[in-house]
Structure 1
C-alpha cells in the first residue's frame, strides 16, 4: 500500500499494478492476489479517503444551503443524492438511456424541491 500511496501522491494515478508491485519489492502476482484489478487497488488506497469524504460533504453543504434558502425540501443527505446520481450514470448500457436519464434527473430534482418554501 505504501508503494501505491507514493505513486498516487506523486500524481501517477494511472500507474500500472505491475509497476506498483515492482516498487513494493513484490511479484505482480502477489499484488494481484490481494487486488484483482487496478481499480480495486485504487479503491482500497487510503490516499483517496479525504477526497471521498470531501466529495460526500459537498452535496450535504449544497443541500443545506438550498434548504436554508427555501429552494430545496429537507430530509435528503448528500450521500443519498450521490447514490441516486450514480444510479443514473450507471444506466448507459440500455438503448434510450440518455432520454431516460434526463427524465429521471428531472424527477430527482423535482423531488428535492418537494416541500420547499420557495420552490417556484
Structure 2
C-alpha cells in the first residue's frame, strides 16, 4: 500500500495512486455521512457509498476516531486554504465557515474523544483558522472593503456565535442576515 522514497536523507511515505483514490472516496463519503447522520454514521455504509470494502476503510482508518479526525482535519485544511485563495471575498468565506462549523457540530462527540486531553492540538487548529482568517481580513483591508483594525479572533468568535444562534437548517436565512450585520460592522466608515 505504501511506497517509500528517500528525499534528503529522510524516508517519505506516499500512498499509491489507487490507495489515495480510495482514501479520498472514503473521506468524501464520510464527510457526507457525518453531516447527515453525525459521528455515529455507519462505517459499513460509508465504505459502501465510497465503493470500497470495509477492510479498506479499516486499513486506512483503524478507529472511528481516526476517520473523524481525518475528515475534520481535511475540512480545517480546506477552510484555511480557501481563506488564503486569491480573490476570495470575506462574506463568501463566512458562509462556508458556517457550513464547516455545522459539520464540526455533527462530529462533536467523536471530536471530544479525539481531542480529549490534547489542548495543544485544539489550540493549534484554532490558531491556524484564526491566522487564515487574519490573512483574508488583511487582504480585504488592503482593498478597502473592511476595516483594518479588526482582530481575526473577534470575527471568528462572532462567527461561532452566529453558528450557535442560527444552527438549524431552517435558520439559514437568519444566519445570512446576521452575517450581513457582521459585514456591515467590518466595513470602513466613510
TM-score, normalised via structure 1 length:
0.56
3-state secondary structure, aligned to 1:90? helix
Correspondences of 1:7-86 after superposition (within 5 Å): 14=65, 39=112, 42=115, 44-45=117-118, 46-86=120-160
**Matched-pair contact (CA < 8 Å) for 1:56–1:78:** yes
- Cα distance, 1:13–1:86 mapped onto 2, change above 3 Å: farther
Is there any run of 5+ residues in structure 1 with no aligned partner, and where? 1-9, 16-36
Q: What is the number of equivalent residue pairs in this alignment? A: 86
Q: Which has the larger radius of gyration?
A: 1
Segments of 4+ moved more than 3 angstroms? 10-13, 92-96
- 1:37-83 Cα shifts (integer Å, max 9, x gaps): 76176154123433221111111111111111111112211101110
Say if 1:95 and 1:69 are closer, same or farther in 2 by CA, change over 3 A: closer
| Greater RCO, 1 or 2 (C-alpha within 8 Å, sep 6+) | 1
Q: TM-score scaled to structure 2, two decimals?
A: 0.37
Q: Is the strand fraction higher in 1 or 2? A: 2
Measure, in 1, the Cα distance between the counterparts of 2:121 and 2:64: 11
Structure 2 counterpart of 1:19: none
The yes-or-no answer on 1:97 pairing with 2:171 is: yes
CA RMSD after TM alignment: 3.0
Task: Specify every segment of 5 or more residues in structure 2 that has no aligned partner in the other structure, as ranges.
Answer: 1-59, 67-108
CA contact (8 A) 1:72 1:115 kept: no
Q: Distance in 1 between matches of 2:168 and 2:125?
A: 31
Distance 1:13 1:104 in 2: 35
